[in-house]
Amino acid sequence: MALEISGKIVKILAEQSGTGKNGVWKKQDFVIETAEQFPKKVCISAWGDKVDQLQSLSEGEEVRVAINVESREYNDRWYTDVKAWKIETGSGGGSVAPKSNNYKKAETQNGASEITTFHADADGEDDLPF
C-alpha cells in the first residue's frame, strides 16, 4: 500500500542508529501537519539514505511524502509504522490519497489497448454502485 501525504514539517526528531543482524542502521522521525480543514499531525520515519535527505530540510518547510503504512503484532498488541520512501519539497496542501483507480481500457484502431481516465459528471456523481 503506497500513499502520499502533504504538509508542513512541524518537528524533526533526533536521529537514531544501531547495529542489527543486517549491519548498521539509522532512522529519523519527523512530524508533518496537513493543511486540511481539520489539520492532522503525522509522525513519519525516514530510514537509511532518506535520513540524509531529511538533514537538508527544516521545520516549517512544505513537503510531499510518499509513505507505506504497515502494522505488526507483538505479544497480542499491534504497532503501526509510517515509513517514508520518497520525500519531495514544496507543493503543500492537505493529505493526498493514492492516485484514483478510476481507469477504463479502450482499444485503439490498431487493436492495442489504451488506458483512459474515468471522469465523474459535473455534480461529482458517477454511475458506480458503491
Does residue 71 lie within any of the structural domains?
Answer: yes
The arithmetic mean of pLDDT across residues 56-73, rounded, is 92
Convert the pLDDT of each residue in 76-105 to its tens digit: 999 999 999 999 987 544 333 333 444 444
CA distance 14 to 25: 14
> Are the C-beta atoms of residues 77 and 54 closer than 8 Å to each other?
no
Does residue 100 lie within any of the structural domains?
Answer: no
> Quick one: which of 125, 104, 8 has its CA closest to 65?
8
Does residue 119 lie within any of the structural domains?
Answer: no
Number of domains in the chain: 1
Does residue 129 lie within any of the structural domains?
Answer: no
Residue 15: give the domain boundaries. 2-89
The 3-state DSSP class for residue 53 equals helix
The arithmetic mean of pLDDT across residues 60-88, rounded, is 93
Does residue 84 lie within any of the structural domains?
Answer: yes
Does residue 122 lie within any of the structural domains?
Answer: no
| 122: confidence class by pLDDT, cuts 50, 70, 90 | low
Which pLDDT score, from 0 to 100, does residue 34 have?
93
Convert the pLDDT of each residue in 30-47 to its tens digit: 999 998 899 999 999 999
| CATH number (domain holding residue 43) | 2.40.50.140
pTM summary value: 0.64
Does residue 39 lie within any of the structural domains?
Answer: yes
Convert the pLDDT of each residue in 102-117 to its tens digit: 444 444 455 554 444 4
Does residue 114 lie within any of the structural domains?
Answer: no
| 123: confidence class by pLDDT, cuts 50, 70, 90 | low
